[in-house]
Amino acid sequence: MDTFQCEPFGTVTIRRRHDARSIRIRIKTDGLLVSADYYTSDKQILKLIEQNREAILKEQQSLKSKKKLINEDFRLRNRYFSLSIRRDDAIKRLLFTIKAESSVMPYKFTMRCNSKADLTDEETQEHMLNAINKLIRNVANEPLRERTMQLAKEFGFEVKILDENKIQDLGMNLLYNVGKASVNKPKLIVMRYFGDSSSDEKIGLVGKGLTYDTGGLCLKPADSMLTMKDDMTGGATVIGTMCAVAKNKIKRNVIAVVPACENSINGNSYRPGDIIKSMNGKSVEIINTDAEGRLVLCDALTYVKRFDPEIVIDIATLTGACVIALGAYNAGLMTEDKVLADALLNAANETQDKAWQLPIGEEYNEQLKSNFADLANIGGRWGGASNGGAFLSYFTKDYRWAHLDIAGVAWKEGAEKGATGRPVQLLMQYLLNQVKK
């Protein structure tokens, strides 16, 4: 959100709406408010300006009847108010012009709706994010390994892909076991972007990349399986964020890891009751094979430690419980780091890519106890979203960490069925805010 003091009008506020395609302009003068939404399509802009002109003039007439003053020189009864928006192709920015006309003289104020960092992108941040969101929706429907390599070359970040043999050599047994039943063997996608050579600080992003999830031997119902290609939208979000970071040359060092596999079924599938040793040495009892996301994530969260990140944020369609709790509106944020939580929630509020903090702590850890292993992969029936976050917390002791459960916000049903691109805007705003510090 950007706020300006604009004489003679008072306070002007511009806020990007949650759909990233519209912009709300609010003009507050002498305690009264004029508010309108405008869209970035040129034809829509002109149409909406005409549609709203009468309402704006009526508001100004209302002000006039109350004999309010904009400033000491001119009374509102001599003034008409209009808004216009145009695209300046020379500087590739959207310009908002606020103009007052009177019989005495015109006042004109122009402000450029630039992003909050010095982006080098040819497009506005709005258009860039729309493009990234579209890219994520496409990635959700394409082979992940090949597409990531193409995007790395196109946008300018490093990528390395580890195959199932390397995964086994590293001791990533949970990732391997989840994916071993599929003909498409598990992979670990590792991306790196170094935008600040003067700093050793790194931010890690880890995204769940279940390219298809049958539920394993704990098989999902048919209607639940229909949209299970969306189970890799956490990974797609991380890949899209890396594209945005690299394209805009953000001055931060970012490491991104996506554990990619399919949770399929054959005679070699991992089973309820199995005890599997994770990459960090903790043993896990498999209670339910459909709680596989946390298994692949915990090995990836251990792997990212080798890059010595200061902060790691994981993004995953982890639990149906989060959807029940927060619906399709808010991602579930879990962390015991208050500073990190506040930074992510601020980014969510700035972009309207909403998130809500859910609890994790010792009481949830109690539910993960196993008689046969260090941990069970699920707790009880209640508090499922927090149980999932608590499980991941066992593998994140070496850095500051936050978990975003995007199960409710990553995918739309109905006529608009497909990936939403969330929470790329949240993550990008968080990274941009870190640049400012």
Q: How far apart are CA 212 and CA 226, in angstroms?
A: 10
Q: How many CA atoms lie within 13 A of 36 on its CB side?
A: 23
Identify which of 34, 2, 303, 253 has the alpha carbon closest to the alpha carbon of residue 126: 2
Residue 437, SS3 per DSSP: coil
Token representation of residue 339: 């500073």
Instruction: Give the length of the chain.
Output: 437
The amino acid at residue 327 is G
Closest to 428 in 3D by CA, of 158, 191, 147, 117 = 117
| From 220, 282, 400, 412, active-site residue | 220
Strands 107-112 and 311-316: unpaired
Outline where 219-337 has alpha helix (H).
Answer: 222-225, 233-247, 293-303, 320-326
Positive or negative, the CA dihedral 114, 118, 123, 126 is: negative
Q: How far is the C-alpha of 188 from the C-alpha of 186, rounded, in Å?
A: 7
Rounded Cα–Cα distance for residues 82 and 94 (Å): 17
Please give the Cα distance from 142 to 256 (Å, whole number).
19
| Token digits of residue 216 | 């394993």
75 is catalytic: no
Distance (Å, whole) CA 167 – CA 177 = 10
Instruction: Select which of 16, 202, 251, 294 is catalytic.
Output: 294
Residue 220 appears among annotated catalytic residues: yes
Number of other residues whose CB lies within 10 A of the CB of residue 418: 15
User: Is residue 93 a contact partner of residue 112, using CB atoms and an 8 Å limit?
Assistant: yes
3-state percent breakdown (helix, strand, coil) of the chain, nearest 5: 35, 30, 35
Alpha helices, DSSP H only, in 230-315? 233-247, 293-303
- Of the candidates 112, 117, 417, the one whose C-alpha atom is nearest the C-alpha of residue 244 is 117
Of the candidates 358, 320, 167, the one whose C-alpha atom is nearest the C-alpha of residue 231 is: 320
CA distance 426 to 118: 18
Q: Just list the catalytic residues.
A: 220, 294
